[in-house]
Structure 1
Amino acid sequence: MATLAQPAGSFGLGTFSVGDGPQFPGLHIAENVLDLRRAMDAAPATVRDIAEGWENYLPALRALASDTTQDWQPLAGLHVHAPLAPRQIFHSGANYRQHVIDLEVAHRSPDDPRTVEEARAETAELMDRRAREDLPYVFIGLPSAVTGPYDDVVLPAWAEQPDWELELAVVIGRPAYQVSQEDALDHVAGYTIANDLTDRATVFRRDMKAIGTDWLRSKNAPGFTPLGPWLVPAEFIADPGDLRVTLKLNGETMQDESTKDMLFGIARLISYISQTAQLLPGDLVLTGSPAGNGMHWGRLLRDGDVMDGSITGLGVQRTRCVAEATS
């Protein structure tokens, strides 16, 4: 397990169990956890229950964080799971300028007549035009892809180019439908870390290129979204638009970028999604991945690789890659 860094602010929320026992929602402070099923009057069964009643639960959580009379238990003896089980996951694609430029160069076909510099310049202009025209790109993921922040990640035998994509994840705390950009952040409960793994070989349909991207195949294998460790309340994150996103592969830094490089900020993404779909408490909005993915480095994930992912104020996750057993 990675170093269990204290989240920003006075507490974080997580989901825990004793060994393989039943999971429970917990308040995490330093090296201790409080079982919220026992500590709260309206006992929540899950962290998603808390998200659904976020405005009502938050004052009680603040009070419990400083209550030393409660039955706190050591974190070291607990299994840390994904902080919550979302109903819906919305992914923001192509949302980091430098990341998309790097991918365009990495995916160039051998017969592409452009130089590397020309490909970079053309893609940079495309990204700048998207920003000017205010056109986010969002697609839907599956909750079944979520796994814990310290669980092994199984690399499917069919995945030829599995890649990492560490991202800031937004947790929704109030229903949001057709909300304005000005009001969007009022619907955020907090933030957590997501590693949005992608098999680059299956992103684009080989049989029918006109169809475009195949996100079902490339992103939704079981365990392809390690999440957590903590849900950190939004009130503890002063500026989610200026957080450091860092991923290390076997100790070597691969991603190290600020969320400042996002084309579309959190408020814009929530507002954009809500014009079509209703966001529900406990839903996730993944905000995109910064530069430094495996395609850029020419080094994809392999059996035995260890990924350490951190975002300012949100803790650290560590996952080990394991090749799928084949008969």
Structure 2
Amino acid sequence: MSHPSLSGPFALGTFADGDGPAFPGLLGDGRVLDLRAAPLPVDGPLTTRALLERWDTVFPLLEGLAGRAATDGTPVGDLRVLAPVEPRQVFQSGANYRTHVIDLAVAHRAPDDPRTAGRVRAETAAMMDRRAAEDQPYVFLGLPSAITGPYDDVVLPSWCAEPDWELELAAVIGRPAFRVDREHALDHVAAYTIANDLTAREMVFRPDMPAIGTDWLRAKNAPTFTPLGPWLVPAAFVGDPQDLRLTLTVNGAVRQDETTKDMIFDVARLVSHVSRTTPLLPGDLVLTGSPAGNGKKWGEILRDGDVMEGAIEGLGVQRNVCRAEAAR
């Protein structure tokens, strides 16, 4: 996979020098400017989340500092790249790409289902049209403890039989948002980044509790199941978030390749929808769903040694090696 260039002149990230402490840095021209010595108006410890809390003030200052990265910065290859932000809350949109939902509906048909694949596809497409018309996205909660870095190993738990990949665009909140309308929702998004929202596929539906439905705690939240980053790319540089290409390879084979145009609910509708129920805070993540091409479609699962590379146009690329947890 080629490494796509970043949108805009700089991005924000979290780094460490060897085993040293994490620090926020400004990435530009392949170099990282340590922001700990920069005159930035934040309260308390300097982190990317602290910068997001003062984003309207901080962003113009970062623009002014961007040129120094090329002259005073450390080569990014000399640093550890960590998850770019520690969110308080993670909101995950499910079933938000048309082709993906159709593929899952076909793959999850019961063995005795008399419908043809074509009929299932048509009925699922009609269902999604109804959802879009009724303005009812499906969003559930993730745990920040599942987040890992963009180049860290992903640990496949010993209890997980069907680990699966799901590349996603993540919106990063800057201004707090509570009960905002769709027209103003993107004003509250400071940046975008890449997330791979892994799933223990066999844990999604609880056969012992069919009336309750999905078990997202077990299916989504194992440690390292959400590789994040590598960077926070300011929304001002990204342009239209509904015109970005997502590509994921497993061991070099393309498995997901779609644009955000295939979303049922766009980023603005998702942010607005979440904010109707709960306040969104600076640094929070809104994961916007995954396109077609997960392992269920290909008849594959992740195994020890598999290498995933996920890229989103203008946002960079992450690379994670899967490691099997020792049986306990």
For Structure 1 versus Structure 2, the TM-score category normalised by the shorter chain is over 0.9
Q: Distance in 2 between matches of 1:247 and 1:222?
A: 21
**2:215 matched to 1:214?**
yes
Q: Deviations over 1:132-161 (max 9, x none)?
A: 221111111000000000000000011111
Counterparts of 1:4-153 in structure 2, within 5 Å, are: 6-42=5-41, 45-67=46-68, 71-153=72-154
Q: Secondary structure of the residue that 2:183 maps to in structure 1? A: coil
The equivalent of 1:279 in structure 2 is: 280
Q: Which runs of 5+ in 1 are unaligned?
A: none
The equivalent of 2:296 in structure 1 is: 295
Q: Distance in 2 between matches of 1:310 and 1:123?
A: 28
Task: Give, as a single letter, the amino acid of the residue that structure 2 aligns with 1:145.
Answer: A
- Name the count of aligned residue pairs: 326
CA contact 2:197–2:220 (8 Å) conserved in 1: yes
Query: Relative to 1, partners in 2 of residues 1:284 and 1:133: Cα closer, same or farther, differing over 3 Å?
Result: same
Q: Distance in 2 between matches of 1:121 and 1:286?
A: 27
The equivalent of 1:196 in structure 2 is: 197
Identity between Structure 1 and Structure 2 (%): 65
Q: Distance in 2 between matches of 1:119 and 1:101?
A: 8
**TM-score (ref. length: structure 1):** 0.97
CA contact 1:39–1:70 (8 Å) conserved in 2: no
Query: Relative to 1, partners in 2 of residues 1:70 and 1:53: Cα closer, same or farther, differing over 3 Å?
Result: farther
Q: Secondary structure of the residue that 2:129 maps to in structure 1? A: helix
Tell me how far 1:3 sits from its aligned partner: 7.2
Q: Secondary structure of the residue that 2:141 maps to in structure 1? A: strand
CA contact 1:155–1:303 (8 Å) conserved in 2: yes
Q: Secondary structure of the residue that 1:292 maps to in structure 2? A: coil
Q: Deviations over 1:259-299 (max 9, x none)?
A: 00001011111111111100000000000000011001111
Tell me how far 1:70 sits from its aligned partner: 6.1
Moved over 6 A (4+): none
Q: Secondary structure of the residue that 1:66 maps to in structure 2? A: helix
Tell me how far 1:42 sits from its aligned partner: 3.2
Q: Deviations over 1:16-57 (max 9, x none)?
A: 001121000000012200000112343662111111111111
Q: Distance in 2 between matches of 1:98 and 1:69?
A: 42
Query: Relative to 1, partners in 2 of residues 1:102 and 1:69: Cα closer, same or farther, differing over 3 Å?
Result: closer
The equivalent of 2:315 in structure 1 is: 314
Q: Distance in 1 between matches of 2:78 and 2:231?
A: 17
Query: Relative to 1, partners in 2 of residues 1:77 and 1:184: Cα closer, same or farther, differing over 3 Å?
Result: same
Q: Distance in 1 between matches of 2:18 and 2:311?
A: 25
Query: Relative to 1, partners in 2 of residues 1:62 and 1:114: Cα closer, same or farther, differing over 3 Å?
Result: same
Higher mean Cα deviation, 35-44 or 167-176?
Answer: 35-44
The equivalent of 1:169 in structure 2 is: 170
Tell me how far 1:6 sits from its aligned partner: 4.1
**TM-score (ref. length: structure 2):** 0.97
